[in-house]
Amino acid sequence: MTETLAFGSVGTVLGRLLVGATEAGVGWLGWKDTPGTRARAATRFGLPVVDDPGRVAPALESLRAYFTGTEHAFDLPVDWRLTSPVQRKVLAALYESVPYGKVVTYSELGELSGAGVPAQAIGQVMGSNPVPLIVPCHRVVASNGLGGYSGGSGVEVKRWLLTMEGSIPATLDWDLATAP
């Protein structure tokens, strides 16, 4: 049986997110659903693309629930094939150990993963995460502040996500329905 890649998208306050899933699980989450994003993901996977709404439905429903505040944990299989063994070890530790509403520093995640990776390299792993939000790289912060974020429109998306999750206090003008 040939492995394949299926796409689906979901509208959120942060825009239309693109999900790519193989038979093994969710392997891609893109911040925009465009033909170019789909083509880049398909090229990275090197798999034929099929129309299989049922395959991506659980991830799309989980994302809808996350953005409405009704789901706090993603319990989805992840296809790690776009990650190296070190990236996989770090990202899997994050996925399994840092729940909604919690944060971990880059250094703490390096220790938690047991990968022997320094904080700066942990930041690089977060920046290359092929499944942001589901594998919550936004929950990894610097010891002296938020740190960076390459998802969406940048660090303001990270701040918004952490505010939504209750990890950082909301400002008086913060609104769940308004994207950064």
pLDDT digits (tens, 9 = 90+) for 33-80: 999 999 999 999 999 999 999 999 999 999 999 999 998 999 999 999
CB-based contact 66:74 (threshold 8 Å) = yes
Categorize the per-residue pLDDT at 2 as very low, low, confident or very high, splitting at 50, 70 and 90: confident
Residue ranges covered by each domain of the chain: 5-68, 85-164
Give the fold, CATH level 3, of 5-68. Answer: Double Stranded RNA Binding Domain (3.30.160)
pLDDT digits (tens, 9 = 90+) for 140-159: 999 999 999 988 888 999 99
Q: What is residue 60's predicted lDDT score, i.e. its pLDDT?
A: 98
Q: Which candidate in 59, 63, 137, 161 is catalytic?
A: 137
Q: CB count, 10 Å around CB of 46?
A: 9
- The CATH number fitting domain 85-164, selected from 1.10.10.10, 3.30.2310.20, 3.40.630.10, 3.90.550.60: 1.10.10.10
Q: How many Cα atoms within 13 Å fall on the side-chain side of residue 95?
A: 21
* Encoded tokens for 77: 């299989």
Q: What is the pTM of this model?
A: 0.94
Q: What is residue 95's predicted lDDT score, i.e. its pLDDT?
A: 97
Q: Is 137 a catalytic residue?
A: yes
Q: How far apart are CA 139 and CA 162, in angstroms?
A: 7
